[in-house]
Amino acid sequence: MKLYCLSGHPTLPCNVLKFKSTTIMLDCGLDMTSTLNFLPLPLVQSPRLSNLPGWSLKDGNAFLDKELKECSGHVFVDSVPEFCLPETELIDLSTVDVILISNYHCMMALPYITEHTGFTGTVYATEPTVQIGRLLMEELVNFIERVPKAQSASLWKNKDIQRLLPSPLKDAVEVSTWRTCYTMQEVNSALSKIQLVGYSQKIELFGAVQVTPLSSGYALGSSNWIIQSHYEKVSYVSGSSLLTTHPQLTVRNGGNVLVPCYPSGVIYDLLECLYQYIDSAGLSSVPLYFISPVANSSLEFSQIFAEWLCHNKQSKVYLPEPPFPHAELIQTNKLKHYPSIHGDFSNDFRQPCVVFTGHPSLRFGDVVHFMELWGKSSLNTVIFTEPDFSYLEALAPYQPLAMKCIYCPIDTRLNFIQVSKLLKEVQPLHVVCPEQYTQPPPAQSHRMDLMIDCQPPAMSYRRAEVLALPFKRRYEKIEIMPELADSLVPMEIKPGISLATVSAVLHTKDNKHLLQPPPRPAQPTSGKKRKRVSDEVPDCKVLKPLLSGSIPVEQFVQTLEKHGFSDIKVEDTAKGHIVLLQEAETLIQIEEDSTHIICDNDEMLRVRLRDLVLKFLQKF
């Protein structure tokens, strides 16, 4: 069993597990933090951004000034933002049999894998994951495609040049493999390879392995996966949550509030919190705007997946009422949604207001416009809730900024205390986790509680590493046909333990093994034809059972006598006895663990003696 680690981002994993004869990819996360190195893509021409000075080397060489721009001491690439793909060289991705998706955030790299690596397998995900994942991808493609950028920078990627750049560009990994966004066509093709699954559905892979998604509670339709054969079990825990209530968020503000967010997920909770808060705070006149090309779909979809929601929300559907209160916000016109800032929105726009829009990296999407618009005023506030991006880095290209910034990450995933507790309950034989989790975060090196602690110590992985997992498989399932089972003769060896020898024909098909009764020995055809001796050469591959036990001499002699042997003499030796049949010139040495029959070439006699000896022994 081997684990290939293709992503270095702990919350956006992409691993490949080789287990028995199958190759399983666990999640397909896309590391979007790479986009933080790029300049934002403004929807409306921004004089500030277009007038940023070009960056030049210390010696004044300015050959990169077309590609790199400087803003408040940070250097950014002026090009279409690019993403850091999962490793594609570590393992031949065309051999991947299946991809298991655990939540909609962890499928964003799917089109890169399914469309460009020769992948021919199947992707498994739950229905909400696919639908919302599609919305996220649609939004991403839309954000990037509607702001075409003429130039694409590639000079800076040259290894010799990258060395000369300031941090963090200097340290960016594998910039040569960074790719621009996929197209909608690729998204559709990738999504068509997904097979929908339900929680607790058992899916057989080639008869060798069974995979099952279980609810993980992190996001709508998110799942942990159990990968098991009859004797081994792997649990893949990705983005789980034990939270059933949501943190309260307070918005108290005279100006405008900007919440950069994904179009699905935490936004539903934020809306629900605000819904409860707004009335009590007397802010019911403040409009809420949700701007995303997929805003409408996202709000509609959230209402139809009642079966995937927590119990509280489920029971609402039975009334029947929509599970999320944002339906009421929309009905009462408090929440309005628009595909973009162009069109209807510009007519309806009233301030002060609260705007939910993407993308949380602040590099593309409608959020760029609001940052440019509101950044200058200290009355306005931007609230970061998505923990995937460092908010300081996200804000860097907008500096200097007068706007207030609140960093209030809403991360409903498991924290370290919960993980430790979980591990204690589950008692796994081995734990594997990203290396970031095996040591305290660099910024808080004294926080020994911010790491995974378990016995035996967790094995850690990092990008582009291959882990050989210490799994020793010892058993495999096999079925015994009823006819064969009926013919078995078990005997009790020790109390509670019975044995039966099995001789059977092994059939293996689709990784399933079946034991059938041995074929009946062919009736010997009439003796005439079998003249040549070689025809009778026995097949030495027909094995005889092993023998065990010992021969009690006295009883053995009695048995011999009963069967007509006379003139029997018994001699004691150092290790046992010798039974002499003087008349037949035959000698039988009997010891604790062996019996040796020495006789003349009288086959009849030998076979008789053999069978008498076998009576006292057990066969295996």
Partner 1 sequence: RYSTGFGRFRWLAEGGAGQDVGRSCILVSIAGKNVMLDCGMHMGFNDDRRFPDFSYITQNGRLTDFLDCVIISHFHLDHCGALPYFSEMVGYDGPIYMTHPTQAICPILLEDYRKIAVDKKGEANFFTSQMIKDCMKKVVAVHLHQTVQVDDELEIKAYYAGHVLGAAMFQIKVGSESVVYTGDYNMTPDRHLGAAWIDKCRPNLLITESTYATTIRDSKRCRERDFLKKVHETVERGGKVLIPVFALGRAQELCILLETFWERMNLKVPIYFSTGLTEKANHYYKLFIPWTNQKIRKTFVQRNMFEFKHIKAFDRAFADNPGPMVVFATPGMLHAGQSLQIFRKWAGNEKNMVIMPGYCVQGTVGHKILSGQRKLEMEGRQVLEVKMQVEYMSFSAHADAKGIMQLVGQAEPESVLLVHGEAKKMEFLKQKIEQELRVSCYMPANGETVTLPTSLSIPVGISLGLLKREMAQGLLPEAKKPRLLHGTLIMKDSNFRLVSSEQALKELGLAEHQLRFTCRVHLHDTRKEQETALRVYSHLKSILKDHCVQHLPDGSVTVESILIQAAAPSEDPGTKVLLVSWTYQDEELGSFLTSLLKKGLPQAPS
- Residue 83 CA neighbour count, 13 Å, CB half: 23
Give the three-class secondary structure for 129: helix
**Part of the chain binding partner 1 (CB under 8 A), chosen from 42-50, 256-264, 530-538, 570-578:** 530-538
Give the neighbor-by-neighbor strand order of the sheet with 568-572.
568-572, 576-581, 586-591
CA distance 538 to 521: 13
Give the three-class secondary structure for 110: helix
Q: Choose, by CB under 8 A, the member of 281, 545, 563, 573 that binds partner 1.
A: 545
Instruction: Please check whether residue 358 is in contact with residue 367, taking contact to mean a CB–CB distance below 8 angstroms.
Output: yes
* Among the listed residues 522, 487, 523, 524, the one whose alpha carbon sits nearest the alpha carbon of residue 504: 487
In the bound state with partner 1, the residue whose beta carbon lies nearer, of 214 and 432, is: 214
Q: Choose, by CB under 8 A, the member of 540, 562, 572, 574 that binds partner 1.
A: 540
Q: Choose, by CB under 8 A, the member of 152, 201, 284, 346 that binds partner 1.
A: 201
Minimal distance, residue 1 CB to partner 1, in Å: 13
CA distance 76 to 40: 9
Strand partners, 578: 571, 589
CA distance 401 to 364: 18
* Among the listed residues 204, 236, 240, the one whose alpha carbon sits nearest the alpha carbon of residue 17: 236
610 binds partner 1 (CB under 8 A): yes
In the bound state with partner 1, the residue whose beta carbon lies nearer, of 16 and 197, is: 197
Q: How many chain residues bind partner 1 (CB under 8 A)?
A: 93
Minimal distance, residue 57 CB to partner 1, in Å: 52
443 binds partner 1 (CB under 8 A): no
575 binds partner 1 (CB under 8 A): no
583 binds partner 1 (CB under 8 A): no
In the bound state with partner 1, the residue whose beta carbon lies nearer, of 451 and 481, is: 481
Q: Choose, by CB under 8 A, the member of 450, 467, 515, 568 that binds partner 1.
A: 515
In the bound state with partner 1, the residue whose beta carbon lies nearer, of 35 and 595, is: 595
CA distance 77 to 74: 10
314 binds partner 1 (CB under 8 A): yes
361 binds partner 1 (CB under 8 A): no
310 binds partner 1 (CB under 8 A): no
Alpha-helical regions (H) of 2-78: 47-50
Long-range CB pairs of 388-394, under 8 A, 24+ apart, other chains included: 388/11, 388/12, 388/32, 388/33, 388/105, 388/360, 389/32, 389/33, 389/36, 389/360, 389/361, 389/362, 390/33, 390/36, 393/33, 393/36, 394/36, 394/260, 394/360, 394/361, 394/362, 394/363
592 binds partner 1 (CB under 8 A): yes
Minimal distance, residue 307 CB to partner 1, in Å: 5
* Among the listed residues 110, 144, 142, the one whose alpha carbon sits nearest the alpha carbon of residue 125: 110
User: In Å, how far are 192, 461, 490, 517 from 500, measured between CA atoms?
Assistant: 51, 46, 4, 14
173 binds partner 1 (CB under 8 A): no
Ranges within 476-495 binding partner 1 (CB under 8 A): 476-482, 485-486, 488, 490, 493-494
246 binds partner 1 (CB under 8 A): no
Convert residues 247-286 into a mask of x (bound to partner 1 by CB under 8 A) and - (unbound): ----------------------------------------
584 binds partner 1 (CB under 8 A): no
300 binds partner 1 (CB under 8 A): yes
Q: Choose, by CB under 8 A, the member of 27, 67, 82, 127 that binds partner 1.
A: 127
Ranges within 207-236 binding partner 1 (CB under 8 A): 212, 230-231
527 binds partner 1 (CB under 8 A): no
Q: Choose, by CB under 8 A, the member of 429, 443, 506, 604 that binds partner 1.
A: 506
CA distance 293 to 537: 81
- Residue 133 CA neighbour count, 13 Å, CB half: 31
301 binds partner 1 (CB under 8 A): yes
CA distance 411 to 388: 9
In the bound state with partner 1, the residue whose beta carbon lies nearer, of 572 and 600, is: 600
Q: Choose, by CB under 8 A, the member of 505, 561, 573, 611 that binds partner 1.
A: 505
Q: Choose, by CB under 8 A, the member of 171, 248, 280, 318 that binds partner 1.
A: 318
Minimal distance, residue 423 CB to partner 1, in Å: 24
432 binds partner 1 (CB under 8 A): no
* Among the listed residues 65, 236, 274, the one whose alpha carbon sits nearest the alpha carbon of residue 161: 65
- Encoding tokens for residue 96? 């991947």
Minimal distance, residue 509 CB to partner 1, in Å: 12
